[in-house]
Structure 1
Amino acid sequence: MSTRTGRGAMTVGVVAMAVTLAACGGGSKSGDGSDGAAKKKDLKIGLLLPEKQAARYEKSDKPLIEKMVGELTSGKGQVVYANAEQDAARQNQQVDDMIAKKVDALIIDAVDSKAIGGAVERAKTAGIPVVAFDRLAEGPVDAYVSFDNEDVGHVQARALLDNLGEKAKDGQIVMMNGARTDPNAAQFKKGAHAELDGKVNIGKEYDTKEWKPENAAANMRTAISALGKNKIIGVYSANDGMAGGVIEALKAAGVSKLPPITGQDTELAGVQRIVAGEQYMSVYKSYAEESPIAAQMAVALAKGQSLISIANSKTNSPTKSDIPTALVPVVAVIKENIRSTVVSDGLYTIDEICTAKYKAACKSAGLTG
């Protein structure tokens, strides 16, 4: 399994970077009034998030970005927010709205990484630097922060193989990948295939439109019909929402003993399914690490400062090379380490996980008190 940078260590790093940004004038551009930009605190940072189906965006990302922008601007900075609700055309219009509002920098988590390219170009033409957040948008983005997406696929697939053990080729695997419009989905899939190919029999594989659980459920019903419910020994699901749809389809088909099913995002419902033994694992991605870095990048770019203390690598998109990049590692969550990961990091409390429906399962898993 992958190891993850400790939350405390990253928090120290975030604070250290914030101090550097506040104190460092050497990273600023010169000769164009950038000294004033570097001192400016009443910045407007635009934040465009893609949807509301995944709880992370409004529960974690938005408030964490707002908090860090506030810290970096002595409470004077403002986050101007909009959510596209899975509509790429709407998000393009939202970029134009942000340009009209004259934001100082823009953070975009693209609905469709290719479709947003023209809007990113328009922002750059207007002099607004763009941070690609969580998904690598096309166009002239200035910086990118995400998790190590290929490693997510590796972690998911290795966990599935660990669970199957010597029975890995005794039946068929179904792969439920994410949306084709999301470049992250391709990276998850690439990492998963690197682990699974040759070690399991992949009976059916799907790219799931819009990542929607109902679309995953429909795909799974097709797979069950084609392969037979008793022949499916495992399901690679790229995230927790789709894992829920997969489980719904398997139960509706009369499968009483569910095969191991992967996930990602450690959504509360996913964690509860892990406790109950319905879902085998999820991937924990610490939004408390990723989101503040996006805010740091945006504030630094708005001030004309260097990203050298924030970015730890570079990434190429289909339209731009050598994009300054910060990648955050991930960790697999299974029943046995829920307490030491999502509970210990404060993502959920025991009480939030162990509602009345899951009390007995929580007690069995040692999740009490």
Structure 2
Amino acid sequence: MSQPTSRRGLLFGGAAVGATALLAACTSNEPAEAKEEKNDAAPAAEESGKHVTIGFAGPQADHGWLNAINVQAAQRAKKYSDITLEKTEGSNDTATQIGQIDTLINKKVDVLVILPADGKALTQAGLKAMRAGIPVVNLDRIFDTPQAYRCWVGGDNYGMGLNAGHYIGEKLKDKKNAKVIELSGPDSLELTKQRTQGFDDALKNYPNIKKVARQAADFTVESGQAKMAQLLQAQKSFDACWNHDDDQGVGALRAIDQAGRDGFLMVGGAGARSAMDHIKADDGVLKATVLYPPTMAASAIDLARALGQGKGISGLSESEIPTQLTLYSAVVDKDNIDQYLPNGFK
């Protein structure tokens, strides 16, 4: 462990190693499988240390995944006797979230964890905190400049698409002239473009497979149902569908049931409990989902605590925490569903 250091020195001095790692590597020396199976396992560095007040600012929990982010952060903080968590009221309004972050800065919290409603729009808030000597853990939606955070932790959107494409590709590799469709998220979001790019790049490895249609929904049940209905009407037959988001997938499955369609496999995205329940029951076309783990919020709390106490990460040689932590997007199907089911979000 490093010797105690000033917050300003921690922010702007020294060489912090950048890392792309599994979520479990951040918090434990246990194998990744054990960590994913039960997220309530004791965090690393369990021994109490210097008390740390962590400010947490996130968007409104108007989506199952965002609600799971809040739950994961709060539950993780409760596991430490040396943490006080100061949470803001979630908001999707940029001005409101900036004001909430200003309040946390004025309270002189030790570390800030920020999941911005809009990474670009909230960059100045991150910079303000860093310049005030408060290290920032930027959660998922990244700020415009690395000067606005000490550490970024988030999911791998490109990897989601890549793993979905390879999963479908392996299932269809022996089928001649296989056809797939894609139900994406909003095209206005960079994450959607990354997921689609990963999917398309994976399919290039399977020359027998052609993507024949794509529709963009907006991560809601209603849009998923409407856009899936359009795809089903336009495509009388296909072999697989990748849906970017399990919440909109609820609507997509509804459209599939109403149309009486089957004979293809569907892969979802994010890791909702409803999707996992269907996968375990094997009661329809949904055969797998690709994770975008909300457990990243628990890791953000671990990282914030380490920053506040001037510590590194158990299992790594460096005395400082990494500058980046990208979570792996595992594919969950009937073969490993029991391992991941406890972390399915509602």
**Compared with structure 1, are the counterparts of its residues 82 and 185 closer, same or farther at alpha carbon in structure 2 (3 Å cutoff)?**
farther
Partner of 2:257: 251
Long gaps (5+) in structure 2: 1-21, 23-30
Partner of 1:347: 343
8 Å CA contact 2:216–2:227 kept in 1: the answer is: no
Instruction: Quote the RMSD (CA, aligned, Å).
Output: 3.7
Partner of 1:238: 244
Separation of aligned partners in 2, 1:62 and 1:97: 19
Separation of aligned partners in 1, 2:293 and 2:117: 21
Separation of aligned partners in 2, 1:14 and 1:190: 37
Tell me the amino acid that sits aligned with residue 73 of structure 2. Answer: I
8 Å CA contact 1:310–1:326 kept in 2: the answer is: no
Partner of 1:331: 330
Partner of 1:212: 220
Deviations 1:285-315 (A, max 9, x none): 5555x33321122123334x255658899xx
Separation of aligned partners in 2, 1:183 and 1:312: 34
Farther-moved stretch of structure 1 (271-280 vs 48-57): 48-57
Tell me the amino acid that sits aligned with residue 67 of structure 2. Answer: E
Partner of 1:55: 64
Tell me the amino acid that sits aligned with residue 119 of structure 2. Answer: S
Choose from 155, 164, 167 the match for 2:163: 155
TM alignment of 1:1-369, pairs within 5 A:
5-8=32-35, 15-19=43-47, 22=49, 39=50, 41=51, 43-59=52-68, 61-72=69-80, 74-84=81-91, 86-139=92-145, 140-167=148-175, 169-171=177-179, 173-180=180-187, 182-197=189-204, 198-209=207-218, 211-225=219-233, 228-252=234-258, 254-257=259-262, 259-274=264-279, 275=281, 276-284=283-291, 287-288=294-295, 290-303=296-309, 305=310, 307=312, 324-339=323-338, 341-343=339-341, 346-347=342-343
Partner of 2:25: none
Tell me the amino acid that sits aligned with residue 301 of structure 1. Answer: L
TM-score (normalizing by structure 2): 0.73
Once the two structures are TM-superposed, the CA of residue 108 in structure 1 deviates from its matched residue by 1.8
8 Å CA contact 2:56–2:85 kept in 1: the answer is: no
Tell me the amino acid that sits aligned with residue 172 of structure 2. Answer: L
Long gaps (5+) in structure 1: 23-38, 314-322, 354-369
Deviations 1:268-293 (A, max 9, x none): 211233222231211245555x3332
Separation of aligned partners in 1, 2:291 and 2:317: 21
Separation of aligned partners in 1, 2:256 and 2:133: 51
8 Å CA contact 1:145–1:325 kept in 2: the answer is: yes
Once the two structures are TM-superposed, the CA of residue 143 in structure 1 deviates from its matched residue by 0.5
Once the two structures are TM-superposed, the CA of residue 107 in structure 1 deviates from its matched residue by 1.2
Separation of aligned partners in 2, 1:97 and 1:168: 60
Separation of aligned partners in 2, 1:279 and 1:132: 33
Separation of aligned partners in 2, 1:89 and 1:53: 18
8 Å CA contact 2:246–2:270 kept in 1: the answer is: yes
Higher helix share: 1
8 Å CA contact 1:212–1:242 kept in 2: the answer is: yes
Separation of aligned partners in 2, 1:309 and 1:77: 22
**Compared with structure 1, are the counterparts of its residues 312 and 136 closer, same or farther at alpha carbon in structure 2 (3 Å cutoff)?**
farther
Separation of aligned partners in 1, 2:286 and 2:237: 18
**Compared with structure 1, are the counterparts of its residues 233 and 148 closer, same or farther at alpha carbon in structure 2 (3 Å cutoff)?**
same
**Compared with structure 1, are the counterparts of its residues 326 and 12 closer, same or farther at alpha carbon in structure 2 (3 Å cutoff)?**
farther
Separation of aligned partners in 2, 1:97 and 1:57: 22
8 Å CA contact 2:177–2:210 kept in 1: the answer is: yes
Tell me the amino acid that sits aligned with residue 263 of structure 1. Answer: G
Partner of 1:357: none
Once the two structures are TM-superposed, the CA of residue 49 in structure 1 deviates from its matched residue by 2.9
Separation of aligned partners in 2, 1:12 and 1:272: 20
SS in 1 for 2:343: coil
Task: Calculate percent identity across the aligned residue pairs.
Answer: 20
Deviations 1:28-84 (A, max 9, x none): xxxxxxxxxxx4x1x33122233434434434x434433443444x34523324322
Partner of 2:18: none
**Compared with structure 1, are the counterparts of its residues 70 and 272 closer, same or farther at alpha carbon in structure 2 (3 Å cutoff)?**
closer
Separation of aligned partners in 2, 1:55 and 1:112: 18
**Compared with structure 1, are the counterparts of its residues 217 and 311 closer, same or farther at alpha carbon in structure 2 (3 Å cutoff)?**
farther
Separation of aligned partners in 2, 1:57 and 1:134: 11
Deviations 1:111-136 (A, max 9, x none): 32222223222333333321122333
Aligned residues: 308
SS in 1 for 2:154: strand
Tell me the amino acid that sits aligned with residue 216 of structure 1. Answer: G
